[in-house]
Amino acid sequence: MPRKISVKKEKKPEKINMPPEEFEKRVKQLAEQGLTSEKIGEKLKKEGIHSKEYGKKISLIMGNSYSSPDMLNIQKKLDKIIKHIGKNKQDKRAVREKDRIFSQLRKLKKYLKIQ
């Protein structure tokens, strides 16, 4: 007979109830540390605080300090390629890739309605 393997489950943190003002203050505090809205949500969930109970999205609470993680990743990639092209003028493939990534960034900005 095969042995049963026991898997230890992590204990869920106790649910914490706090006023909405305190929740917003906590979100802004985490945003100042440089966390994205997704990371803030994960951290709050580990603490036992669920954003759905407060009826506001974390990205809306963050306001102007919010920037889409997709856009940040595309911007980093574009910066790396532009730096590469500066060193390697003959790399035609990189020039094409720069155009493609720039187009991605432009489409995402249009989708997110960012100027």
> What is the band of 94 on the pLDDT scale with cuts at 50, 70, 90?
very high
Output the CA–CA distances (angstroms, integers) from residue 51 to 46, 61, 105, in the order listed: 12, 11, 29
| Residue of 30, 63, 60 whose CA lies nearest to 45 | 30
| Tokens 């900005």 -> residue | 109
Residue 115: per-residue pLDDT? 52
pTM of the model: 0.60
What are the structural domain ranges in the chain?
20-65, 69-112
Residue 76: per-residue pLDDT? 95
Instruction: Say whether pLDDT at 97 is over 90.
Output: yes
For 19-65, what is each residue's pLDDT tens digit? 888 888 888 888 888 888 888 888 988 888 887 777 788 888 887 77
Output the CA–CA distances (angstroms, integers) from residue 60 to 27, 37, 84, in the order listed: 10, 9, 36
> What is the band of 92 on the pLDDT scale with cuts at 50, 70, 90?
very high
Instruction: Say whether pLDDT at 4 is over 90.
Output: no
